[in-house]
Amino acid sequence: MTAAKEMRTGYEAMDWLVRVNAPAWLDASGLAAEASSLRALPPLVSIDAIQESADRLREMQTVAYRRSGVPGWSEVDGLRAYGAMAAKNAAFGIVGYAHGRGDSQLVNSVAGYAWTVASYAAHAVADEQRTAVTADLSTSVPAGVVA
C-alpha cells in the first residue's frame, strides 16, 4: 500500500467514525437532531476538517453522556461500539502520525470524542432495551414466581 493510499484510508476511517458511526448510535438512542448535526459536517479529508469537527464532537460527547445516564466511563459500554474503536485506532495510527506530534494529538482527541459519543449513545440504547425486556418479563411471569 502506498503512503498516499494509507493516508486516504486513515481519513476514511476518521470520516466514518465521525459522520457515520457516531450519528447511527445517536439516532438509535433518540438523539436524531444531534446525529444530523454530525452528518452535516464536511467530509474529514484534512487535518483542518478534523480540527473544525472537534468543538461539535465535544458538545455531542456531553449530550450523549447525559442521555446515557452513566455515572462514569465504562470500557464495557465502549465495547458496544467496538467498530468505532477500530476506526479510532486506524485514524490515529495513519493520519495522526503522518502529520506529526501536534496533529497526532488532535486526531487522537477528535477520534476519542467520536468514539465516546458512540459509546454513550450505545449505552443509552442498551439501557432502553434492558428496561423494555424487564417490563416484558414482569408482565409475563406467573403469579407467585419471582423474576
Instruction: Tell which wins on pLDDT, 57 or 100.
Output: 57
User: Which secondary-structure segment (H or E) carries 50?
Assistant: helix 47-68
Q: Read off the pTM.
A: 0.68
Maximum distance among all Cα pairs of the chain, rounded to whole angstroms = 67
Q: Count CB-CB contacts under 10 A for residue 144.
A: 5
CA gap 92, 36 in Å, rounded: 24
Mean confidence (pLDDT) of the chain: 74
pLDDT of 134 above 80? no
User: 29-33, 51-55, 94-98, 134-138 — which is least confidently predicted?
Assistant: 134-138
Instruction: Tell which wins on pLDDT, 137 or 45.
Output: 45
DSSP label of 21: I
Please report the DSSP string for 57-119 in residue order: HHHHHHHHHHHHT-SS--HHHHHTTHHHHHHHHHHIIIIIHHT-HHHHHHHHHHHHHHHHHHH
pLDDT of residue 4: 80
pLDDT of 136 above 70? no
pLDDT of residue 116: 80
In tens, the pLDDT along 7-51 reads 788 888 888 888 998 898 888 888 899 999 999 999 988 888 988
pLDDT of residue 34: 92
- CA dist 131 → 23, 53, 56, 126 (Å): 23, 34, 30, 9
Mention every residue, 6+ apart, whose C-beta is less than 8 A from residue 57: 18, 22, 38, 110, 113, 114, 117
pLDDT of 80 above 80? no
